[in-house]
């Protein structure tokens, strides 16, 4: 998958967030990291939008792909560039 735009919504202390960012860093895919720690309104909006209750929220090319495990699954199945 060719990634034109990557956005993550994360918490600074979350190991899964760090792992997802690490994969994108390793692949040299630039991303925008939105720190939503303590931002209950933003977190609630993401829950309503995605149905997912845990961070990170990973969006590639404006499409929600899931969390850290979903990002790794996508990478392993389709590759990311």
- Residue 40: per-residue pLDDT: 96
| pLDDT tens-digit readout, 18-69 | 999 999 999 999 999 999 999 999 999 999 999 999 999 999 999 999 999 9
Give the side-chain half-sphere CA count within 13 A for 49.
16
The answer to whether the predicted template modeling score (pTM) of the entire model surpasses 0.75 is yes
What average pLDDT does range 10-24 have in this prediction? 98
SS3 65: strand
pLDDT of residue 22: 98
Instruction: Find tokens 């600074």 and name the residue.
Output: 12
Helix (H) or strand (E) holding 56, with range, is none
Superfamily of domain 4-76: Glutaredoxin (3.40.30.10)
Query: Is the backbone of residue 34 left (phi > 0), alpha (psi -120 to 50) or beta?
Result: beta
Domain borders along the chain are 4-76
Sheet with 63-66: list strands edge to edge: 32-35, 6-10, 57-60, 63-66
């Amino acid at each position: 998958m060719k990634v034109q735009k990557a956005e993550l919504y994360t918490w600074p202390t979350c190991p899964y967030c760090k792992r997802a960012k690490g994969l994108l860093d390793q692949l040299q895919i630039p991303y925008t990291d939105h720190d939503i720690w303590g931002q209950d309104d933003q977190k609630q909006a993401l829950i309503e939008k995605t149905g997912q209750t845990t961070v990170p929220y990973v969006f590639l090319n404006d499409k929600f792909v899931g969390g850290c495990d979903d990002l790794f699954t996508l990478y392993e199945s389709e590759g990311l560039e």
